[in-house]
């Protein structure tokens, strides 16, 4: 199983589509816990990537990640731009020279991204942020790689569910990082918008692989 740049650009398109279908929902989550711009920030980033996908389609995966990182860093405002931008740039470095990503590379990319986000955002798991969706997905993938699990359907279904459950777990958390931490109620009772859009991305990456790469 390997994913290449064309696969990743199709996945980006799927994320963009999912964002279009959840504009109000995500905006309202950020209105409840932050300043209401999270959907718009993500939409600008993914919209720009999609608009320029012709320019990217012949790049190797590491260069694609570098370009995604630079786009996110420069186009997306707010915390998410810096966090996603930095994370993609860090993953591009870890996977330097890779034309395509195999299972181990996907793990390395996601692991590098979550570690970079933690460092940059001075955040750990349990702070009510996007890390609460990404970290459990990375841990789940790591667990399957360590146990030499070979059933890719099982792996990607579990990784996807780990991200979705992780996002869900932010509902009852008091925020330690992000704008919700400045609120009196620390956002308790509301899902973290960044965790929700992170779970969308993990879910769609897993679905792309499940639908297009396994048994094909």
Q: Find, among 127, 204, 168, the residue nearest to 29 by Cα.
A: 168
Q: Which residues pair with 2 in a beta bridge?
A: 102
Q: Pick the closer one to Mg ion by CB: 38 or 190.
A: 38
CB 17 → Mg ion: shortest distance, Å? 22
Residue 37 found at the interface with Mg ion (CB under 5 A) = yes
* From the list Mg ion, ligand ADP, none, partner contacted by residue 113 (C-beta under 5 to 8 A by kind): none
Q: Pick the closer one to Mg ion by CB: 67 or 80.
A: 80
Question: Distance (Å, rounded) from C-alpha 67 to C-alpha 45?
Answer: 12
Query: Of residues 16-35, which lie at the interface with ligand ADP (CB under 6 A)?
Result: 30, 34-35
Q: Is the separation of the CB atoms in 155 and 144 below 8 Å?
A: yes
Residue among 35, 146, 215, 216 that touches Mg ion (CB under 5 A): 35
Question: Distance (Å, rounded) from C-alpha 117 to C-alpha 135?
Answer: 10
Residue 187 found at the interface with ligand ADP (CB under 6 A) = no
* From the list ligand ADP, Mg ion, none, partner contacted by residue 187 (C-beta under 5 to 8 A by kind): none
Question: Distance (Å, rounded) from C-alpha 215 to C-alpha 194?
Answer: 33
Residue 121 found at the interface with Mg ion (CB under 5 A) = no
Site string for ligand ADP, 89-128 (x = CB under 6 A): ----------------------------x---xxx-----
3-state secondary structure of 126: coil
Let me know if 147 is exposed, middle or buried by CB neighbors in 10 A (0-12, 13-18, 19+): exposed
Question: What's phi and psi for 117, nearest 5 deg?
Answer: -65, -40
Residue among 26, 34, 128, 191 that touches Mg ion (CB under 5 A): 34
Q: Pick the closer one to ligand ADP by CB: 123 or 201.
A: 123
Task: Compute CA distances 188 → 96, 171, 180, 191, whole Å.
Answer: 41, 6, 9, 8
Interface segment toward Mg ion; rule CB under 5 A; list 34-42, 58-66, 135-143, 199-207 = 34-42
Applying CB under 6 A, the residues found at the interface with ligand ADP are: 30, 34-35, 37-38, 41, 78-80, 83, 117, 121-123, 129-131, 177-179, 192-195
């Amino acid at each position: 199983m390997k994913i290449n740049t064309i696969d990743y650009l199709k996945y980006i398109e799927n994320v963009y589509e999912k964002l279009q279908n959840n504009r109000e929902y995500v905006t309202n989550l950020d209105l409840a816990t932050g300043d209401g711009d999270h959907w718009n920030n993500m939409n600008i980033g993914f919209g720009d990537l999609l608009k320029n996908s012709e320019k990217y389609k012949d790049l190797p995966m590491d260069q694609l990640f570098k370009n995604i990182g630079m786009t996110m860093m420069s186009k997306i405002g707010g915390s998410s731009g810096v966090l996603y931008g930095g994370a993609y740039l860090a993953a591009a470095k870890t996977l330097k020279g890779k034309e395509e990503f195999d299972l181990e590379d996907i793990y390395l990319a996601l692991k590098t991204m979550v570690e970079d986000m933690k460092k940059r955002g001075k955040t750990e798991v349990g702070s009510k942020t996007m890390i609460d969706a990404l970290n459990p997905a990375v841990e789940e993938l790591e667990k399957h790689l360590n146990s030499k699990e070979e059933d890719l359907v099982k792996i990607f279904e579990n990784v996807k569910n780990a991200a979705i459950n992780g996002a869900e777990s932010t509902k009852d958390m008091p925020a330690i990082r992000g704008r919700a931490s400045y609120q009196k109620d620390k956002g308790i009772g509301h899902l973290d918008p960044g965790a929700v859009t992170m779970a969308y991305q993990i879910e769609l990456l897993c679905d792309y692989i499940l639908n297009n790469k396994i048994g094909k």
